[in-house]
Structure formats: structure tokens, C-alpha cells
Amino acid sequence: MSIRWLTASDRPLLRAATLANMNWCGLRFTFDDLDQSEDLAHYYSDFPREDDFGMLDEAAGDVRAVAWLVFFSAEHPGYGFVEETIPELSITTFDGFRVQGIGERLLRGIIAAAAERGMPGISLSVEDGNRARSLYSRSGFQVVGRSGDSDTMLLRLATS
């Protein structure tokens, strides 16, 4: 297992991870759908901007999971937007690697890195029925809003 920081060269991977996130419950979106929707494409198209960062887990040449934080503005929010000072989390454990604790380890790593950088919190959006919701709850995320069939969750981080 190897964990490394994401770079701009990982945008195609983030695009694939975004598609996997959007299709967590079956085929609903295509790459064309993502690319033609600013609301979806902004999760990967300009990564990393300023304070955005992320990491991936790979083993034997396979990317098993990826997690990244993106800051959005109030004018162009993400689905889990809370405020401009709090980045939104996207996390994907790819098929064949789920239910092995890989995503949870990566989530703990990105939370620790965000805390080290002095971020006040991390937000996310999770649709009803998504099994990852229990991981987020166990990790301390709490529901702070609702939009359609999704909850916005927030993890407050200790600030010094």
C-alpha cells in the first residue's frame, strides 16, 4: 500500500472518481454528463486551486481509493457547500477494493491533513441510501442541511 498526494496530473483520475461517486447506486451519468455540467465538472476540472488538496491509495499499480478537498465559493457552491472557508470532501473507493477499510484509512488521513493545515472543518454531500453515510457518521460528520434526497454533513475540526 502506498499513499501519495494528488497533483494536477491526477485530474483524469478525479474525473473517474467523480463519475463513480455520481453512479454509486447504478449507471445514472456518463463522462459527457459530467463534463457538460459545471456543477459536476468543478470537482475535478481545475484541481488543485490554491488550498485544494487530496491523496490516493494505490497498491500493485492499482489506485484503490482517492480523497480530495475542494474549496468552493458561495457563487459556485458544491453539493455539500457550507461556507467558503470549509472545503468539500469527495472520496471514492473503487470497485474491487470496497469494504476493506481502505476508504476509512484514507478519510482519516485527509481529516488529519486538513486539521494540520488549520482548516475549520470539512463538508460533504451524501445521498439517501449510500452506505458511506455510516462511515461519515462514525468519523464525526453531522447532518447540517438537506437538499433533495441528500444530506449535507459537516465535521468541525479543532483549531488552535
Q: What angle do CA 60, 66, 67 make, to 5 degrees?
A: 150
Give the C-alpha separation, 151 to 146, whole Å: 4
Residue 160 has pLDDT above 70, yes or no: no
pTM, two decimal places = 0.93
Strands 150-156 and 121-127: antiparallel
Local confidence band at 18 (pLDDT 50, 70, 90 cut-offs):
very high
Note the pLDDT tens digit of each residue in 40-92: 999 999 999 999 999 999 988 899 999 999 999 999 999 999 999 999 999 99
Q: Where are the domains of the chain?
A: 2-120
Buried b / exposed e along 27-60 (16+ C-beta atoms within 10 A)? eeeeeeebeeeeebebbbeebbeeebbbbbbeee
Q: Which CATH class is domain 2-120?
A: alpha beta
Full 3-state SS string of 39-56: HHHCCCCCCCCCCCEEEE
Q: What pLDDT is attached to residue 158?
A: 83
Q: Which one-letter DSSP state was computed for residue 10? A: G
Q: What is the per-residue pLDDT across 110-121, written as a single tens digit (0 to 9) for each?
A: 999 999 999 999
pLDDT, mean over the chain:
93
From CA 53, how far away is CA 137, in angstroms rounded?
22
- The answer to whether residue 98 scores a pLDDT higher than 90 is no
Residue 99: its pLDDT value, please? 85
DSSP string spanning 49-86? PTT-EEEEEEETTEEEEEEEEE---SSS--TT---TTS
For the segment 5-12, the average pLDDT, to the nearest whole number, is 95
pLDDT, position 159: 67
